[in-house]
Amino acid sequence: ICCGFTSPKKLFTPLHVIHMFAVNSTDPMDPKLYLCPIYKKQRHTDQNYITAVVLPTTQSPDHWILRGVALLCDIK
């Protein structure tokens, strides 16, 4: 999985199933990794926030932060 560009005017893009597991690490995070938030619904509020996942990207993480990129569990 890698953050990339989508077609123009396409708001949502499906993502493959992600299998997650915990890792205890004190290593510094690679600057090319984007800490992507996961929300239950489209609304980016504290009540809908689940966690964040680290995604590799070819752009700076700031690029994705400025665009408000997040993973959503439900887009209905």
- Structural domain containing residue 65: 33-72
- Report the chain's mean pLDDT, rounded to a whole number: 84
Give residue-wise pLDDT tens across range 22-48.
Answer: 888 888 888 889 999 999 988 888 899
Asked if residue 62 belongs to a domain, the reply is yes
Looking at residue 74, what is its pLDDT? 79
Structural domains of the chain, count: 1
The band of 51, judged by pLDDT with boundaries at 50, 70 and 90, is: very high
Asked if residue 27 belongs to a domain, the reply is no
Q: For 18, which DSSP code?
A: -
Asked if residue 41 belongs to a domain, the reply is yes
Instruction: State yes or no: pLDDT of 75 exceeds 70.
Output: no
β-strand pairing of 33-39 with 71-72? parallel
Looking at residue 46, what is its pLDDT? 84
Asked if residue 9 belongs to a domain, the reply is no
